[in-house]
Amino acid sequence: MLHLMKLEMKKFKFGWYVKGALLANVIITTLFISMNYIQEVEKDFIMTNAEDAFLLIGTMVRATFIVFAAVLLSQLVIEEYKNKTIMLMFSYPVKRKQLFASKLAIIAILTFITIWLSNIIVTGAVFVLHGYFSFISYSITFTDWMQQAITMIPFAVAAAGTSLIPLYFGMRKYSVPITIVSSLLVVSFACSNNPGFSVVVIIPVQFVLAAVGLMIAYLAIRDIEKKDAI
C-alpha cells in the first residue's frame, strides 16, 4: 500500500497542492486580521476571546481543505475514470482494491495533515503578528496556541473522513463539477456556525460525518472490481 501511495504521489506531482495550501494559509490569515480590524472599527464584535478566534480560524481552515480534498478526488479518481486512464492502472499485476484504496488514503492523509498544520500555521501567524501590530482587543497566549494545536487533532481526523463524502456524488456520472459542488454542500453543513446551533464545534456530529465518508470509501473500494470506466 505504501509503495502504491508513493507511486501515485510521483505520478500526480502534488507541488500545486503545497503551493495552494500555503496561499490559502496566507489568505485565511489576512482575512482573519481584516475581520478583527473591521470589528474594532465598527464595534460589532463577533470575536471577544481566543476561543472565538480559534473557532473562526478552524472553521475557515477545515472548509478550505475539504474543498481541496474534492479537487484531489477529481484529479486522482474522477478524471481517471472519465478519461479511461484508470483502466491502464487496472491492468497492472496489483489488485484494483489496493490501487483504489491507495488513492483515497492519500487524499484522507493529506487532508488531515494539511488541516492540522494549517491551523498551527495560521494561529501561530496571528499570535506573532499580534505581538507587533496589536490588531485584536483580547489576548492570545502561547499556551492558548499550543492547546489549540492539540484540540484540533480530532477535528482534523473527522474532516479527513468527511472529505471523502463527495466521492459518492462524483462517481455517479464521473463528474468533476458535481464532485466540487457536493464538497461545498458538505462544507455548508459540516462547518456551519450559527448562534443557536453550531455543527462545526460538535465533535460527535463531525465523527458521524467522517463515518459516512469512510463508509462511502469502503463501499467504493468493495465494488471496484465490478466497475469499469465508461
Distance, in Å, from the CA atom of 108 to the CA atom of 121, rounded to the nearest integer, reads 20
Q: How confident is the model at residue 229 (pLDDT cuts 50, 70, 90)?
A: very low
Indicate the pTM of the whole model: 0.90
Task: Output the pLDDT for position 135.
Answer: 73
Mean pLDDT of all residues in the chain?
Answer: 87
Task: Output the pLDDT for position 128.
Answer: 87
Write down the residue that cell numbers 482494491 correspond to: 97
Average pLDDT over residues 173-187: 94
CB 5 within 8 A of CB 105: yes
Segment 192-207, tens digit of pLDDT = 987 667 899 999 999 9
Average pLDDT over residues 154-164: 97
Domain ranges of the chain: 1-224
Flag whether pLDDT at 90 surpasses 70: no
